[in-house]
Amino acid sequence: MKRLFNSFVGNPKNDILSGITVALALVPEAVAFAFVAGIDPLVGLYGAFMMGLITSLFGGRPGMISGATGAMAVVMVHLIQQGNMVGSELSVPTDNLGLYWLFITLLFVGGIQILAGLFKLGKFVRLIPHPVMMGFVNGLAIVIFLSQLGMFKRVIGGEKQWIQGVELYTMLGLVGLTMAIMWLLPKVSKVVPAALVGIIVVAGIAIGGGLDVSTVGSFIREGGGEGLKGGLPSFQFEIFNVLGTIQGHWGTVLSTAVLLAAVGLIESLMTLNLVDDLTETRGSGNRECIAQGSANILNGLFGGMGGCAMIGQSIINVDSGGRGRLSGLVAALGLLSFILFGAPLIEQIPIAALVGVMFMVVIGTFAWSSFRIIRKIPLADAIVLITVSAITVWQDLAIAVIAGVIMSALKFAWDNAVRIRARKSIKENGTKVYEIWGPLFFGSTQSFAEKFDVKQDPENIEIDFIESRVSDHSGIEALERIMDKYIDLGKSVTLTHLSPECQGLLKKANPNFDKYIQSSIEDPRYHVVTDLMDAEAL
């Protein structure tokens, strides 16, 4: 019970204050991503609320923040556009058919993510190499920075243009003031989160001084929204009335669902890994998969855009002292309160204050040590780090991480492929022994085959796996081909020192291997260990 309580409430004061800070930062982010997806801002805000609520209560780790994200928004937009096109062709009474297609898709997204958790696929995030992780955080920091640059634009004459003159200098000054507060205040006191103080001070200066700066309210209205006013999300009965419109387009819906599920899980599990490192604790990837899936199903039923874990907001929460589940719960409920009750006040917050907070997140997220170590690490790791960073900026997080893992895996396979060796010797009875060193797998089969001189070898051959193991089907096929060559020439082949696992693998693939495996010969090292143990016992 005590452990459960500590998980929910790390430090009540810090959790509540950091949760409020995160809620303030969530508003423009959720709205911006809703615009990216081409849907109403309230759908993005509801999505952030429901994602935050469910994952804060049931997610894989306390202190991690989930909401509407850009990585998923850029995938959603194509589905929504196609749904709207179908709606116009069929003259469907629903104003935004693409949005209802999204809700249906989110039901599949949630199901896929829950299955990933039930089958314990979340543990595979631990296999992501460190260069990929560093490239990921660097690329993400750049993406966050670039996304904030859009806040320096305003709609003029129906088009977005860069702000200039006094307005630009005023915004830069407020951004700089926010960053200065966040940098200096922790050196004096950590009683109140620096980000929250920065937002309050800058908002007070802008409102009290009557400064003409972009605010949360103006940002929403310039993007095509009507403001933060809204009610509670309602059950979307209409999603079941438009199922017929998807006929002929199920391939698009299901492929989008798989992609959204993959993007959401990768970003969430990577965020979990990063927060683990920051807090020196360990969360549960499988539990996070189930919580993310449940939240996306809830979004599909109640009209939210869905989402996943948010690295920027998670770092704000952790840096502000949020460690318990209460911080995420306060952030979610705070966001809903802003929508229902605090809209007039929240809409007056200068965008500059929130940009300043996010710029500090960028500075804290970027792995500056990568500049120091880039020339000290292996060239292949450096290439992976830079490539993942570039792809994260150019494409998206999921593609970048997958590409980085594939590159690292290929490098690992190549390194192991060239390490296979065969020590050759002749026994007193004339048997030639090939003592294999290194793993026999798909990458090393060619090198393995080149070690044998089938025609010139004597009548009896022994292949010793004392320092090797057969790892996959390619390895089995390579071994079988070598043995067939010897057998075709009428020569005898014996396989020795195969581990029980390797013996089982070979016999399952081809029962005839049993005739050539000499399982009675034990590893001589075992005798040494046994002798030592016996001597100690005496």
pLDDT in tens, 235-277: 877 777 788 888 888 999 999 999 899 889 988 998 898 898 8
Tens of pLDDT, residues 114-125: 999 999 988 777
Using CA atoms, how far apart are residues 240 and 242, in angstroms rounded to an integer?
6
Using CA atoms, how far apart are residues 468 and 506, in angstroms rounded to an integer?
14
Tell me how many degrees the CA angle 136-138-141 measures, rounded to the nearest 5. Answer: 105
Segment holding 492, helix H or strand E: strand 492-496
Report strand pairing: 460-467 vs 66-67. unpaired
Q: Do 331 and 56 contact (CB within 8 A), yes or no?
A: yes
Q: Which amino acid is it at 94?
A: T
Which bin fits 189, alpha (ψ -120 to 50), beta or left (φ > 0)? beta
Question: Considering the chain, what is the average pLDDT of its residues?
Answer: 86
Q: Do 231 and 49 contact (CB within 8 A), yes or no?
A: no
Q: Which residue in 64, 63, 102 sits closest to 82, CA to CA?
A: 102
Length of the chain in terms of residues written: 538
- pTM of this prediction exceeds 0.95: no
Q: Do 342 and 168 contact (CB within 8 A), yes or no?
A: no
Q: Which residue in 448, 397, 376 sits closest to 419, CA to CA?
A: 448
Q: Do 359 and 145 contact (CB within 8 A), yes or no?
A: yes
| Residue 137 main-chain phi, psi, to 5 deg | -70, -35
Q: What is the pLDDT of residue 7?
A: 61
CA 35 to chain centre: 23
Tens of pLDDT, residues 11-59: 888 999 999 999 988 888 888 788 778 888 889 999 999 999 999 999 9
Domains, the chain: 10-153+161-391 (no CATH), 421-537 (3.30.750.24)
Using CA atoms, how far apart are residues 149 and 374, in angstroms rounded to an integer?
28
Mean pLDDT calculated for residue range 390-419? 85
Structure-block tokens of residue 344? 């007039």
Burial class from Cβ neighbours inside 10 Å (0-12, 13-18, 19+) for residue 380 reads: middle
Using CA atoms, how far apart are residues 441 and 17, in angstroms rounded to an integer?
54
pLDDT of 538 above 50:
no
Using CA atoms, how far apart are residues 242 and 236, in angstroms rounded to an integer?
11
Locus of tokens 């937002």: 199
| Residue 462 main-chain phi, psi, to 5 deg | -125, 125
Using CA atoms, how far apart are residues 350 and 364, in angstroms rounded to an integer?
22
Query: What is the maximal distance between C-alpha atoms in the chain?
Result: 99
Q: What is the pLDDT of residue 53?
A: 95
Tens of pLDDT, residues 476-501: 999 999 999 999 999 999 999 998 88
Tens of pLDDT, residues 165-178: 999 999 999 999 99
Taken in order 194, 338, 45, 61, is the CA torsion positive or negative? positive
Q: Which residue in 46, 30, 16 sits closest to 325, CA to CA?
A: 16
Q: For 390-446, what is the HEC assignment? A: HHHHHCCHHHHHHHHHHHHHHHHHHHHHCCCEEEEEECCCCCEEEEEECCECCCCHH
Residue 395 CA: distances (Å) to CA of 41, 221, 261, 262, 388: 24, 29, 17, 15, 10
Locus of tokens 């459960």: 4
Q: Do 230 and 340 contact (CB within 8 A), yes or no?
A: yes
CA 504 to chain centre: 36
Tens of pLDDT, residues 65-115: 999 987 788 789 889 989 988 888 876 666 688 999 999 999 999 999 999
Tens of pLDDT, residues 335-349: 999 888 888 888 898
Using CA atoms, how far apart are residues 310 and 144, in angstroms rounded to an integer?
11
Q: Do 394 and 166 contact (CB within 8 A), yes or no?
A: no
